[in-house]
Amino acid sequence: MPELNTPTAPEAATASLPRFDDFGLAPPILQALAEQGYQYPTPIQAQAIPVVLQGRDVMGAAQTGTGKTAGFSLPIIQQLLPNANTSASPARHPVRALILTPTRELADQVAENVKSYSRHTPLRSAVVFGGIDMAPQTAALRAGVEILIATPGRLLDHVQQKTLNLSQTEIFVMDEADRMLDMGFLPDLQRIINLLPKQRQNLMFSATFSPEIKKLASSFLKNPQLIEVARSNATAERVTQIIYKVEEESKRDAVVHLLKQREIRQVIVFSNTKIGASRLARELERAGVKASAIHGDKTQAERMAALEAFKAGGIDVLVATDVAARGLDIAELPCVINYDLPYNAEDYVHRIGRTGRAGASGDALSLYCDKDARLLADIEKLIKQKLTPVELEDFQPRSARGERAERSDRGDRGDRQGDRYADRSERRTERAPRSTSAPMPRKEKVDPWFLKPYEPAAPAVPMEEKPVDPRNAKAAPKRAALLGGKSKT
Ligand code: AMP
């Protein structure tokens, strides 16, 4: 399940759930965890840590947001500790654990976590990913690191330049394996696996298990222990899902209505297209909502500014495409809105998994038009739950008031040039707004956004824990606790 499901102290006590010190983790690791503010292991951690400590291969079904990074990092650090040393000699600090991730952003997040968890040990870690100068990475590798976090392409660049030797790797982690395959990394992965010693421990994590993933797993995992906390297509129990039936041309008004009526603060609004995201953000701003779009056509600076402003509370609404939202360390949102129902039902689960985490209640509100019947049916089938569209209370769209729905084509020309796919889908909507939608082509595989380096975000904002009836129009606004580890090193 894509929720970070840490038990509360009373729950843990009554259910005698494991604690971090039950795993035999060394005091420097426990100290780091205490400083991070982690009290209890998440379900994936409770299962993975003992198995990884035994030296077994693992195939883990887990998504970002479940705490899986600590699930593999903590036992890795523990296993490397006996040979950790403070020698200045690079030869005494060979790469002993290699963690591969598909994107720079994830590599950076994992590296930040590993650094925090190992801060009181002599173990060294480094991260290498493309798109930035190789020189500082080369210097770090030459100085010697025991734990290396990398994206495949840049890792191979370093191997080619002979700044990296993987012959002493004892533990190999493949994180988000499904995305690695989606992004076409299979040949690189095979090359990297061939560079590793035959005798090693392998850990593979993936949100989904397609036949391709299973094939890859069987090619390099030895008798793996399957760790599955919950089915990846289960929706978070604490999330209240409401589907609002609206006219296609009233969707923007409906979002504004929902934001105002429910006094929503800090919400991600999901759009299926980049152009739709930009357009909606502009419309919301015109309606007096502090909004910003985040997608692949935005510059790094724009993207970071939007994210920081969102985390700091300067922006209430982040309008995002699925690909742009993935990998973002933003969780525990009080609400997400599906401006468009996603073309892939699994994306619905990922989207609503952003809310209702860590004991918080969350609302997943979706706008539904007649043409979305097929998409809704796919979602219902996946989550095994009936979602009946309801009317949006007290909503009077402009069209119903006799005003022409405002089109904002003038300002969108720039966006269209960079987004042919979005352009096609927009036209389809305009020509046949009421037809039953055929399955859309799968969205682009690699968003250029992921080809840009990621800078860590601001410290977490504490969550206001207020029970809210999501159907109550006057519900008190909630703010998100944005997960991201407490301290940065
Ligand atoms: P991950 O799924 O590894 O990306 O973790 C999601 C977020 O949960 C990260 O921001 C972590 O810092 C945080 N986290 C991981 N484990 C715990 C824990 N046991 N207690 C509280 N927060 C955690």
- Structural contact between residues 205 and 174, judged by C-beta atoms closer than 8 angstroms: yes
The ligand 1 atom at the shortest distance from the C-alpha of residue 40 is: 19
- Across-strand partners of 171? 97, 201
In a domain, 399, yes or no: no
Q: Work out the angle at residue 447's Cα, subtended by the Cα atoms of residues 442 and 450, and round it to the nearest 5 degrees.
A: 145
**Separation of 69 CA from ligand 1 center, angstroms?**
7
On whether both 223 and 245 belong to a single domain, the answer is no
Residues 330 and 243 in one domain: yes
Between the CA of 136 and the centroid of ligand 1 the distance, in Å, is 28
The total of structural domains in the chain comes to 2
Clarify whether residues 65 and 191 are in a common domain: yes
Ligand 1 centroid to Cα of residue 483, in Å, is 7
71 CA: nearest ligand 1 atom: 3
Closest-lying ligand 1 atom to the alpha carbon of residue 62? 2
Do 253 and 379 belong together in one domain?
Answer: yes
* Alpha-helical regions (H) of 54-122: 68-80, 104-117
Q: What is d(CA 295, CA 57) in angstroms, rounded to the nearest whole number?
A: 36
20, 44 contact by CB (below 8 A)? no
Report how far apart, in Å, the C-alpha atoms of 295 and of each of 272, 277, 278, 396 are. 11, 8, 8, 30
Distance CA 303, CA 296 (A): 9
Residue 208: what pLDDT?
A: 76
Are 146 and 166 found together in one domain?
yes
- Of 19, 38, 115, the residue with max ligand 1 atoms within 8 A of its CB, to mutate for a pocket test, comes to 38
Q: Say yes or no: 221 and 311 in one domain.
A: no
Report the DSSP beta bridge partners of residue 125: 147
Query: What pLDDT shows up at residue 264?
Result: 87
- For atom 19 of ligand 1, the residue with the nearest CA is 41
Q: Are residues 31 and 91 in the same domain?
A: yes
Q: Nearest Cα to 451, choosing from 25, 105, 87, 77?
A: 105
Q: What is the CATH number of the domain that holds 264?
A: 3.40.50.300
Ligand 1 centroid from CA 68, angstroms? 7
Q: Report which ligand 1 atom has the smallest distance to the Cα of 4.
A: 8
Residues 95, 169 contacting (CB under 8 angstroms): yes
Dihedral sign for Cα atoms in the order 283, 255, 356, 340: negative
In a domain, 481, yes or no: no
- Tell me: do 18 and 89 sit in the same domain: yes
158 phi and psi angles, rounded to 5 deg: -70, -35
Please tell me the residue having the least CA distance from ligand 1 atom 20: 38
| E-only strand ranges, 287-432 | 291-294, 317-320, 335-338, 362-368, 390-391
Give the residue, out of 4, 117, 330, with the most ligand 1 atoms within 8 A of its beta carbon, to mutate for a pocket test.
4
199 and 288 inside one domain: no
pLDDT of 86: 96
The predicted structure's pLDDT at residue 304: 72
247 and 150 in a common domain: no
Q: Ligand 1 test: best mutation among 8, 33, 36, 176, most atoms within 8 Å of CB?
A: 36
What predicted TM-score, i.e. pTM, was given to this entire model?
Answer: 0.58
148 CA distance to ligand 1 centroid (A)? 20
Dist. CA 403–CA 418, nearest whole Å: 31
Task: Give the range of the structural domain holding residue 292, as residue numbers without chain letter.
Answer: 239-394
- Is-contact 351 281, C-beta < 8 A? no
Query: 127 and 47 in one domain?
Result: yes
Gap from CA of 36 to ligand 1 centroid (Å): 9
Domain assignment of residue 185, yes or no: yes
Q: Block means of pLDDT (10 residues each) for the chain, length 489 residues?
A: 46 64 96 93 93 97 82 98 96 97 89 97 96 94 98 96 96 93 91 97 89 91 87 59 95 93 90 92 93 78 79 89 69 86 87 68 91 95 89 80 42 31 27 32 36 30 32 41 36
Task: Specify if 102 maps to a domain.
Answer: yes
Which atom of ligand 1 sits closest to the CA of residue 484? 10
The alpha carbon of 47 and the centre of ligand 1 are apart by a number of angstroms equal to 15
379 Cα: distance to centroid of ligand 1 (angstroms) = 27
Query: Which residue, judged by its Cα, is nearest atom 9 of ligand 1?
Result: 484
pLDDT at 432: 27
Pocket around ligand 1 at a 6 A CB cut-off? 4, 6, 38, 41-42, 45, 64-70, 329, 483-485
CA of 468 to the centre of ligand 1 (A): 24
Among 394, 410, 436, the domain-final residue is 394
CA of 65 to the centre of ligand 1 (A): 7
How many Å apart are CA 480 and CA 333, to the nearest integer? 5
Distance (angstroms) between ligand 1 centre and the Cα of 67 equals: 4
**Cα atoms in the Cβ-side hemisphere of radius 13 Å centred on 182:** 20
Evaluate whether 449 touches 298 at the Cβ level (below 8 Å): yes
Let me know: does 64 contact 106? Beta carbons within 8 Å: yes
Neighbours of 11 (CB within 10 A): 12
pLDDT of res. 57: 97
Q: Is residue 465 part of a domain?
A: no
Identify which of 29, 35, 42, 454 to mutate to test ligand 1's pocket (most ligand atoms within 8 A of the CB): 42
In a domain, 112, yes or no: yes
What 3-state DSSP class applies to 368?
strand
C-alpha distances in angstroms, 115 versus 29, 48, 147, 333, 488? 11, 20, 9, 26, 8
Phi-psi map region of 339: left, alpha, beta (phi>0 left; psi -120 to 50 alpha): alpha
Question: Roughly how many angstroms between the first and final C-alpha of the chain, as a whole number?
Answer: 29
The residues near 440 (Cβ < 8 Å, ≥ 6 apart) are: 272, 343, 425
pLDDT value at position 385?
Answer: 87
Going by CA atoms, what residue is nearest to atom 14 of ligand 1? 67
Alpha carbon of 373 to ligand 1 centroid (Å):
36
Between the CA of 73 and the centroid of ligand 1 the distance, in Å, is: 11
Residue 326's pLDDT is: 65
Residue whose Cα lies nearest atom 21 of ligand 1: it is 38
CA 104 to chain centre: 13
Helix (H, G, I), strand (E, B) or coil at 417: helix
